[in-house]
Structure 1
Amino acid sequence: MQYFEKWQELPYYPISLFYREKFGEKVYKIPVSVSQTCPNREGLKGMKTCVFCDVWGSAAYPEVRDQVLKDQILTNKERIRKRFNANKFLVYFQAYTNSFAKSEHLRQQFEVAEQVEDVVGFVVGTRPDCLSPAVLRLWQEYAKKHFLSVELGVQTFDEKALVWMERGHSAVQSIKAILKIKELGEVDLGIHLMFGLPGETDEFIKKTARIVNSLPIDNVKLHNLHVLSNTPLEEMYKKGEFVPISREDYTRRVQIFLEHLNPNTAVHRVAAVASRHDELVAPYWAASKLDNYQFIIDKMREQNSYQGKKFVSEGKGFLHRTDFSGTFTSI
């Protein structure tokens, strides 16, 4: 297959290769926590906490979240440098919703981060419904002088699934947010997608890839829905209202998605891992990062499966013909 050599013998286009092409060497993310909340946790418009979200709001290293930003960057930078012999870094504003606060707060964080040696850009995690004009102007400004990537927590394009997840935003809002961000020009855009939702079908996975292909999305990050302690999903799990996806079924869905995904769309990861193992309730396989990664890669290689194998360029009218009202019949 023509892409394998370029993709470092992987069956998909890894984000690490994109960074290497962009910066001339491998680049590593420094995760930091500067946002302490999100619209759901604030209860705006009657919102509730997302069913899967724990108290840390996706923070990779919650033990340093109380440090000031510069100390967080330096602490995590040194940890990553020692482990990977890293030289260049992206500051990853990861936890909760980083565009929820006033834009001036985020500007101050950018100003701190850009002063740290070897930092070559920023990655900002946020939601489709937290894009004020001021935040968009700030991103546009910084994208002209630094690499700036936005990771948008879309999770799914199915409206009923979004309601079940208590996300508080719609698929249409996600699409509008994607288009609005890409209108800024130089901003790199990625989205998070979650597989393993109740009633999810292989056909909807294909449809999801087709939707992604129809939008100006630069990269994707895949996440297997798993149960963490002290979350609404844990209560559902205990009551028998939610059954976690098996590793085999999740792998098949990743394979289906990647086969239909544009080969020019970079992939951050093919599976998530519970970063705090003591909080993982189920499934047990979500505790291992390397095992799951290798399992997926091996399965794809065994079946001569690779990103873009079944990719077909969509016509301009595809999104207008797409029904987002609900594919998951069991919800």
Structure 2
Amino acid sequence: MSYKYPWGHNNPFNDYSNFLRNKFNNRVQKLSLNVGFTCPNRDGSRGTGGCTFCNNKTFNPDYCEPGMSIANQLETGMSFFRARYPDQLYLAYFQAYTNTYGPLDQLKQMYEEALNHPGIVGLVVGTRPDCLPDELIEYFAQLQKDYYVVVELGIESTNEETLKHVNRGHTFEETREAILKLNKVGLPVGGHLIMGLPGESNEVMLSHADILSELPLNYLKLHQLQYVKGSDLGRKYQADPDQYRVLDPDEYIEIVIDFLERLNPSIVVERLASQAPYELLLAPCWGLKNFQIVEMVRKRMLAQNTWQGRLYSPSIN
């Protein structure tokens, strides 16, 4: 069968679910874990208060309770899928906060508890680019010989002023160095980017695609900025909402399409939108599920006869 696009299917962007299915020849599901980590910009080592946009409760499933063992969290997560997909495979996703921020022996014990659970074929470890000591990278590289191990970095923005403004506690240069270091030892690298952070124009947002396209990044998650209760930015938005930009769905979809057109087609797009829990979300309140946003992007790209990487031009440097 011939396909219109180089990633082997007829979606106009290089999507994650198709990539994983082709890689493992099976359906693959990520299972989120919360094992009680914190962050270096919360405990004072890099800063306090955390990122201004962050309330971790907005993206942890209900079954992710740090008081539960890793095995129990995985088993609970799998129970949601077994009846419908009895033979699918799973990746253990260390998601909440900074999942490389601790003593190496303790980290190894947690990762290996997850890998020893039946059905788990690999790890996705969410972390910050300033929390990747060399000995941990070497450990991940050794695990990669037997499992699929992905390090997912919170990039959030490639703009240094934005990173300072949202109290990220690290620079984009540290992100660049981390991506290169992980790639050098053969580890797949994912990234997370927020569209619409305070002070970023459309062109600044689109420039992230140009900058990241020149790095050996394997996966990328996008989502709209959400103002949520329990975050510093949420409190500021509630106090003076007119000072903050809130993207509407049509505007966001156009930004995403423009972004994808400029993005290196080899980068697998894992997510295009996010949805904070209703009880925590202040804005934007779109009333749309993530899959609906994805489908709207897909249909509009097909209608416009455009695709990921259409405007991508590799650097000659």
* TM-score above 0.5: yes
CA distance in 2, matches of 1:299, 1:62: 35
Matched to 2:216, the amino acid is P
CA–CA distance in 2 between the matches of 1:25 and 1:193? 28
Q: CA shift at 1:57, angstroms?
A: 7.3
Identity over aligned pairs, percent? 32
Residues 220-299 of structure 1: matches in 2 within 5 Å? 220-238=220-238, 239-240=240-241, 241-274=243-276, 276-285=277-286, 288-299=289-300
* Residue aligned with 1:160, SS: helix
Report whether the alignment pairs 1:212 with 2:212. yes
Contact 1:273 1:286 in 2 (8 A): no
1:311 equivalent in alignment to 2:309:
no
Paired AA for residue 264 in structure 1? S
Cα shift at 1:6? 5.2
Counterpart residue identity of residue 21, structure 1: N
Partner of 1:192: 192
Look up the equivalent residue of 2:292 and give its one-letter code.
D
Measured against aligned partners, the alpha-carbon deviations of 1:132-177 in whole angstroms (never above 9, x if no partner) come to 1222122112112211011100011001111111101111111011
1:252 partner amino acid: E
Runs of 4+ deviating beyond 6 Å:
none
User: Partner of 1:17 in structure 2?
Assistant: 18
CA distance in 2, matches of 1:90, 1:280: 28
Q: What is the CA-CA distance between 1:296 and the residue it aligns to?
A: 2.0
Counterpart amino acid of 1:281?
A: L
Question: Which shows bigger deviation, 228-237 or 151-160?
Answer: 228-237
Change (3 A) 1:43 1:290: same
Distance (Å, rounded) in 2 between the aligned partners of 1:132 and 1:59: 26
C-alpha RMSD of the superposition: 2.0
Taking a change above 3 Å as real, the CA distance of residues 44 and 233 of structure 1, as seen in their structure-2 partners, is same
Task: Tell me the equivalent position of 1:328.
Answer: none
- Matches of 1:82 and 1:289 in 2, distance apart? 23
Q: Does the C-alpha gap of structure 1 residues 50 and 141 become closer, same or farther in structure 2, counting only changes over 3 Å?
A: same
Answer whether contact 2:3 2:10 (CA < 8 A) is retained: no
Distance in 2 between the 1:293 and 1:271 partners? 7
The alpha-carbon distance between structure 1 residues 309 and 21, as it changes in their structure 2 partners (threshold 3 A), is same
Match of 2:42 in 1: 41
Match of 2:130 in 1: 129
Contact 1:58 1:96 in 2 (8 A): no
Query: Counterparts of 1:53 and 1:287 in 2: how far apart (Å)?
Result: 21
The Cα shift of 1:287 comes to 5.6
| Counterpart contact for 2:193–2:221, Cα < 8 Å | yes
Instruction: Give the whole-Å Cα distance in 1 for the aligned partners of 2:201 and 2:87.
Output: 40
Is 1:285–1:292's contact at 8 Å kept on the other side of the alignment?
no
Number of the residue aligned with 2:202: 202
Structure 1 residues 84-103: Cα deviation after superposition (integer angstroms, max 9, x where no partner) = 44521111111100011112
Partners of 1:110 and 1:3 in 2: CA distance: 39
Take 1:7 and 1:248, find their aligned partners in 2: how far apart are those partners? 28
Once the 2 structures are TM-superposed, how far is the Cα of residue 75 of structure 1 from its aligned partner? Answer: 0.7
Q: Is the Cα contact below 8 Å between 2:150 and 2:190 reproduced in 1? A: yes
Equivalents in 2 of 1:244, 1:286: separation in Å? 14
TM norm structure 1: 0.89
- Shift in Å, 1:7: 5.0
Distance verdict in 2 for CA 1:207–1:70, change over 3 Å? same
- Residues 230-277 of structure 1 show CA distances to partners (whole Å, capped at 9, x for unaligned) of 111111211233232222221111111110111121110111111x22
In structure 2, the gaps of 5 or more residues are none
CA apart distance, 1:283: 0.7
Work out the CA distance in 1 between the residues paired with 2:6 and 2:154: 31
Residues 168 and 246 (structure 1 numbering): CA distance in 2 closer, same or farther, change over 3 Å?
same
What are the ranges of 5 or more consecutive residues in structure 1 without an aligned counterpart?
Answer: 317-331
Residues 192-245 of structure 1: CA deviation (Å, up to 9, x unaligned)? 111012332333233211211211111111111101111111112112332322
User: Number of paired residues?
Assistant: 314
**Distance in 2, Cα, partners of 1:106 & 1:148:** 14
Question: Secondary structure in 2 aligned to 1:285?
Answer: coil
Verify the 8 A CA contact 2:28 2:88 in the aligned structure 1: yes
Distance 1:265 1:91, change over 3 A: same
Change (3 A) 1:283 1:27: same
Residue 106 of structure 1 pairs with residue 85 of structure 2: no
* Structure-2-length-normalised TM-score: 0.92
Paired AA for residue 144 in structure 2: A
